[in-house]
Amino acid sequence: MTRTTGHGADRSAGLRKRAGRGTAILLLALWAVTAELFAGRPDKAGTAAAPELLIPVGAASIGYGGAGIATATGVDGIFWNPAGLARTEFGSSVIVSHMAYLADINLEYAAAALNFTGVGAVGLSVKSLAIGDIPVTTEEQPDGTGETTSPAMLVVGGTFARKISDRISMGVTVTYIYESMAKVSASGVCFTAGVQYTGLGGIDGLEFGVALKNLGPGMQYSGDGLLRNGVVVDASRPASPILIQAETNDLPSSIDIGLGYTMKLDEENALLISSSFLNNNYTEDEYELGGQYSYQQRFFVRGGYDFSNSDYIYGATFGFGVKTVVSDITIQVDYAYRSVQYFSGNHVISLQFGL
């Protein structure tokens, strides 16, 4: 039996490492090409219920293009892929995030998670849109009645995730949705399930993820705001209230698939390359590509790009982050910017705590 020792062993290990990197980069390229085989539904754009489900949260993954299906982990991964929660390094963790969204709308997000050894991780997340006051208009007064209303959009999710092996994790999120405006409201429930696989093909640093998002029954508005006075022609009877039945609209479900690869440049420097493909049921498909450079896992610089086949309003992203430890509590601050056509860009800031 032949044994490889000394410089021969080092050379073999180096060749395997370079081969693994080359294979990972090739898979990322092939993934970008094969994603073209899917097709979205641009003919149904703008017709789905609860569009707030699609608004991303968390500055870290937004900073590298939102391509976090395979790579987002811990409490930060709840939105992108619930399986990522099982890969948390903390027993308990919290994230709070603020986004300056479109047209003076602000988005607030918070999530907390607990990891139970041998059982799994559980998380609770809350997303809220602060839209502000808008004028009330009617069919008879399209220029406004003089009144204002403040729409409310709230999304609350409960997540359970578990590692089923040292490489595979799975997770599921049950989400409650509530919307109200003036005298009408709607509510709904949906499910998201995901899987993440690390060390794909035996290559260290290569990650794969898939998530089925926002699966559930449609939502329908109801309330006194849908009452109208109706008059029966040619009948001796006064006007009576008629209830208009709103249409039921489906939720914006999608299949999200992603690949990521982390290259350790040396003991202190690493580079993450990540990509995602979103096969949407109610708009064009989306493609996301990004990267993250990290130094000592304490300082992060990120960049990415979101694109689609249609007139997609989002584009380049960039961000940075800093992580430190204070009294055994890990604190991470992240910032991201997402460029937007026709509107001012989105500014996102997140604060994470882990213990």
Q: Which of 34-43, 59-68, 313-322 is predicted with the least confidence, judged by mean pLDDT?
A: 34-43
Rounded to 10 degrees, the C-alpha dihedral 296/339/102/212 comes to -70
Alpha helices in 179-292 (DSSP H): none
Q: Provide the percentage of residues in the chain whose pLDDT is more than 90.
A: 65
For residue 117, the one-letter residue type is T
- The reply to whether the predicted model has a pTM over 0.75 is yes
- Long-range CB pairs of 340-346 (<8 Å, 24+ gap) are 340/102, 340/313, 340/314, 340/315, 341/313, 341/314, 341/315, 342/313, 343/102, 343/103, 343/313, 344/100, 346/62, 346/99, 346/100, 346/101, 346/102
Q: Which of 61-70, 80-89, 140-149, 152-161 is predicted with the least confidence, judged by mean pLDDT?
A: 140-149
- Rounded-to-integer distance, Cα 131 and Cα 128, Å: 9
Q: Binning pLDDT at 50, 70 and 90, where does residue 1 land?
A: very low
DSSP 15: H
Beta-carbon contacts of residue 228 (< 8 Å; ≥ 6 apart): 241, 242, 244
DSSP 52: G
- C-alpha 279 chain-centroid distance: 14
Q: Check if the beta carbon of residue 302 is closer than 8 Å to that of residue 292.
A: yes
Which pLDDT score is estimated for 312? Answer: 82
Q: Check if the beta carbon of residue 265 is closer than 8 Å to that of residue 271.
A: yes
State pLDDT tens for residues 164-202. Answer: 999 999 999 999 999 998 889 999 999 999 999 999 888
What's the CATH superfamily of 7-216+254-354?
Outer membrane protein transport protein (OMPP1/FadL/TodX) (2.40.160.60)
Which pLDDT score is estimated for 11? Answer: 54
Determine the average pLDDT of the residues in 297-320: 91
- Rounded-to-integer distance, Cα 315 and Cα 312, Å: 8
- Rounded-to-integer distance, Cα 346 and Cα 348, Å: 6
Give the side-chain half-sphere CA count within 13 A for 243.
Answer: 9
Q: Binning pLDDT at 50, 70 and 90, where does residue 242 land?
A: confident
Mean pLDDT, rounded, of the chain: 87
